[in-house]
Every structure is written in structure tokens, then in C-alpha cells.
Amino acid sequence: MLPPIDTIIENFEIVEDDDMRLEYLIELGRALPPMPESLRTEANRVHGCESQVWIDTAAEGAGPERRLKLQGFSDSFIVRGFVALMVALYTGKTPREAAETDGLDLFRQLRFGSHVTSKRSNGVRAMAERIHRDATRLAAEG
């Protein structure tokens, strides 16, 4: 089970060693709840990632109580860690809150920019954009 996003951020703030930060990212990917094979569809595939990535964004509940539930998977251990960050960041938010949340800001806050390849950075951008579009659509549906 993934820790809350605030705990994840605190943990990254106290780990200065790049190798240890990468290991923690991989641990988060391992803690990501399994995504059912039935959700690993072309509709849930995130394009723009070097690795294969799937993210399913759903809203649970009704009216203003609706909350997002994200599920995700990647075939890469490191990228699965980035998927875990996105799942932890967005799950539990209302669609409107999620649409107003910048996933790339978390990526920058955790100082991954200079230690990650440009292809992986593009993949994180593609994930954040995909979740933003899904959240915006779900917010409009009410």
C-alpha cells in the first residue's frame, strides 16, 4: 500500500543521496497496488512514455463527494515508481481539485529533473497531462 503523498514528500526531502532516492522511488513502485489486466487496455495506455504505462482514472461516489481513484502500471521499475507518485498525488482528490493540481510540480519539488532522462521526463509529463484531461472531463460530468 502506498503511503500518503505528504509522507512520500517528507521521505524524499530527508534522503539526499541520489541512489537512495532512486531506490525509494523503486520501492514506491513495488508498493503500487496491482492493476488488473482488464484495465491494461489501449484506452488506458499513456502515450509519450518510453516504457509501457497504463493509468485508469475513475471517480467514486456521487456529487461533491466524488473522489478520484487511480490505478496504474508500468513495465519499468523506475517508471512504475513515477506512476506510484501520480497515484498517491491524485487519488482521493475531487475531479476539480485534480484538474487544478500540477503533477509536474511534484516532479520538480522532489528534484527529479536533473537526475532523470529526458525520455522519462517526457513520460511523467504525458502521465500528468493524461490525468489532467481525465480529471477535467470527470469534473465537467459533475
CATH classification of the domain holding 133: 3.90.1010.10
Q: Please write the tens of the pLDDT for every residue from 37-86.
A: 999 999 999 998 788 999 999 999 988 789 999 999 999 999 999 999 99
- Decide if 118 is catalytic: no
pLDDT at 119 over 80: no
The rounded mean pLDDT for the chain is 91
Residue 141 near residue 68, CB atoms below 8 Å: no
- In angstroms, the CA 44 to CA 81 distance is 18
Q: Out of 5, 8, 49, 70, which one is annotated catalytic?
A: 49
Mean pLDDT of 9-20: 92
Task: Please state the domain count of the chain.
Answer: 1
- In angstroms, the CA 136 to CA 93 distance is 12
pLDDT at 62: 85
> Which structural domain, as residue segments, surrounds residue 64?
5-141
141 pLDDT band, cuts 50/70/90, is: confident
Residue 74 near residue 52, CB atoms below 8 Å: yes
123 pLDDT band, cuts 50/70/90, is: confident
Q: Tell me which residue has cell 515508481.
A: 81
Residue 110 near residue 12, CB atoms below 8 Å: yes
User: 54 forms bridges with which residues in the sheet?
Assistant: 45, 73
